[in-house]
Amino acid sequence: MALMRITSPHAHGPMTTSRVMQNVLLATVPGIIVLTHFFGFGVLVNIAWASILALGFEALALRLRKRPLGFYLGDYSALVTAVLLGIALPPYSPWWLIAVGIAAAILLAKHLYGGMGYNPFNPAMVGYVVLLISFPVQMTSWAPPRGTGELPGLLEALQACFTPASFDGVTMATPLDVLKQNNSLLLEDLWQQNVQFGRWAGLGWEWANLAFLAGGLWLLYQRIYTWHAPVAMLTTLTLMSALFYDGGSSASGGSPLFHLLSGATMLGAFFIITDPVSSAVSNRGRLVFGGLIGILVYLIRVFGNYPDAVAFAVLIMNLAAPFIDQYTQPRTYGHASNRSDG
Amino acid sequence: MTDVSYRELSLNGLWKNNPAIVQLLGLCPLLAVTGSVVNAIGLSLATCLVLITSNTAVSLIRNIVSDAVRLPAFVMIIASAVTCIELLMQAYAYELYQILGIFLPLITTNCVILGRAEAFACKNSLLPAIYDGLIMGLGFGLILVLLGALRELAGTGALLADMDLLFGPAAESWKIVLIEDYQPFLLAILPPGAFIFTGLIIAVKNLIDARIQSRMDAMKEKPVKGSKRVRVTGTIS
């Protein structure tokens, strides 16, 4: 028998794409439970409807592209996109809003670029930004959290999704939104006058963020990704908010704790920017990538037009990822560094 | 060059060498003002008229102007044509003139026009040059209107809104609402929508081309099996 000549690496890890994706899905569960507890069944309806649509669109795209259906549907990547988008969308969204978002994510951001592994942008974030730009009203009306009013039941959640005209939804500005509109109150007064601020960063939001943090730490422990990008992002976000925090005047952008625990911070840090396809590839590159996202998140949140910024920051840095890779190429073992012979 | 085939010219301008989706020229107005059908028609009419005028003039002076100064001369011609068209629009379609704004004078820098002057009009006699201008303008305009229609439909759920800006008060009732209670899809109207829809149009065009090509290949005569000579030893005649 002839010797097979195969280049290294010769040892394979037990992780396959579908195992990784299953782990990611599993890690979102605590966050989803907390969100459902605070915002009601709308969260679950969002995720379920998004998943059905994502599998449908994925199958359609694979058929059109004449790719094996079973193989690609079995890698759970479409499901991860759907779950992330479902979490990011406001609960009790109408069915068509989710459909447009998923179509943009799966067809436009994923399959037009060549499908799984070829997309330069994070599909879930593309879907989110398409929706945010197109339907700003629907995308910024969040349901009030538990403790500020009656939560709709499962039946009402389904009604809100599939017959939006018959659903009389109650909405409430999110803490980030209120902070953005505020221009006269001290932060302390703001906290007292608005029930949705909760203890540190928003009723429901703080616990959801902590739950996503827990899920993310479990993924780190499972070695699904390295610590570089999330740690860099959270560090720069903390630094930026500490730098601009002046003790709580009306012009300050909020305390570091507020920024760490509000909006999509933890979801972004552990589930979005760690996407292996659209982020930078080397560890040093991931530090730069995550760090710049943290800075951008703060800048866009406080000085931009939209209340939350994770999606925009991630897309901008997705665009910059190849550029970062270019300058953070690790030295090949046994060779001089690139810079000295350049 | 007297043996210009008009059929070839038409095919080129409208499909094979379409200025908007094959040469990708003049993308600036293409992307900027195709938010609705009326804007698209307005701009494509203006562009088409400028193309015809400039092609005519360039073809007429092609033997007089020396090679060294031909580009400034072409640009002067185009700029004066654009100014005329702009004044005409200001007189007869003032609201549309205001909507199109800077993109009317910018027709001067539209590469399609200079491109046709340089590539065709300055090498051909009057009639083919005029015809080329017309066809290229039509090819450009068709894509503009198609893009405008797609974006207006996706963006607002209606078609042919505000046509009275261009065609007078009689056109006020032309608006067709295809979907009632449509949530405006802002992305389609904003510039990113123009990029996405242009890309999709180009993709469809390439798809059709590939289909045609594969059908042509299939129709080609295949060598009959077994007729191949294995060895050729010398020529017979």
How much is the pLDDT for B222? Answer: 67
B158-169 pLDDT tens trace: 777 777 777 767
Q: Which residues of A touch B194 (CB under 8 A)?
A: none
Among A61-65, B188-192, B221-225, top mean pLDDT goes to A61-65
A138-179 pLDDT tens trace: 888 788 887 777 778 788 888 878 887 777 777 777 778 777
Higher-pLDDT residue of B227, A176: A176
Are the beta carbons of A338 and A295 closer than 8 angstroms? no
How much is the pLDDT for A213? Answer: 93
Q: How far is B115 from chain A (nearest CA, A)?
A: 31
How much is the pLDDT for A339? Answer: 58
Q: How many CB atoms lie within 10 A of CB B33?
A: 24
How much is the pLDDT for A341? Answer: 46
The stretch A54-71 carries a mean pLDDT of 89
Interface test with A, best of B151, B186, B189, B200 (most A CBs within 10 A): B186
B150-191 pLDDT tens trace: 888 888 877 777 777 777 676 677 777 777 777 788 888 888
The percent of residues above 90 in pLDDT, for chain A, comes to: 38
Q: Which residues of B touch A136 (CB under 8 A)?
A: 186
- Structure token pair of residue A74: 């079995």
> CB distance from A326 to chain B under 8 Å?
no
- Cα distances (angstroms) measured from residue A340 to each of A113, A330, A332: 36, 13, 13
For residue B41, pLDDT beyond 50 = yes
pTM across the whole model: 0.83
A184-240 pLDDT tens trace: 777 777 777 777 777 777 778 888 999 999 999 999 998 888 999 999 999 999 999
How much is the pLDDT for A51? Answer: 94
> CB distance from A135 to chain B under 8 Å?
yes
For residue B221, pLDDT beyond 70 = no
**Under an 8 A CB cutoff, do A133 and B187 touch?**
yes
d(CA A111, CA A57): 10
The stretch A302-323 carries a mean pLDDT of 89
Q: How many CB atoms lie within 10 A of CB A189?
A: 13
- Cα distances (angstroms) measured from residue A195 to each of A92, A260, B138: 21, 19, 61
Positive or negative torsion for Cα A95, A101, A106, A112: positive
d(CA A239, CA A291): 10
Between A50-59, A70-79, A93-102, A157-166, the lowest mean confidence (pLDDT) is in A157-166
d(CA A177, CA A299): 15
How much is the pLDDT for B235? Answer: 65
How much is the pLDDT for B225? Answer: 64
Which residues, in sequence order, are CB contacts of A149 under 8 Å at separation 6+?
A: A170
How much is the pLDDT for B89? Answer: 86
Q: Across the interface, which of A96, A108, A133 has its CB nearest the CB of B186?
A: A133
Angle at A213 between CA A207 and CA A218, to 5 degrees: 130
Are the beta carbons of A296 and A314 closer than 8 angstroms? no
d(CA B14, CA B22): 10
- Taking only residues 184 to 203 of chain B, the set having a beta carbon closer than 8 angstroms to any beta carbon of chain A reads 184-188, 190, 192, 196
Q: Across the interface, which of A96, A108, A134 has its CB nearest the CB of B186?
A: A134
- Structure token pair of residue A295: 């800075």
Q: Which residues of A touch B184 (CB under 8 A)?
A: 134
Higher-pLDDT residue of B121, A199: B121
Between A107-116, A231-240, B12-21, B222-231, the lowest mean confidence (pLDDT) is in B222-231
How much is the pLDDT for A98? Answer: 93
Between A118-127, A165-174, B103-112, the lowest mean confidence (pLDDT) is in A165-174
Q: How many CB atoms lie within 10 A of CB A198?
A: 20
Among A88-92, A164-168, B21-25, top mean pLDDT goes to A88-92
Domain locations along chain B: 6-213
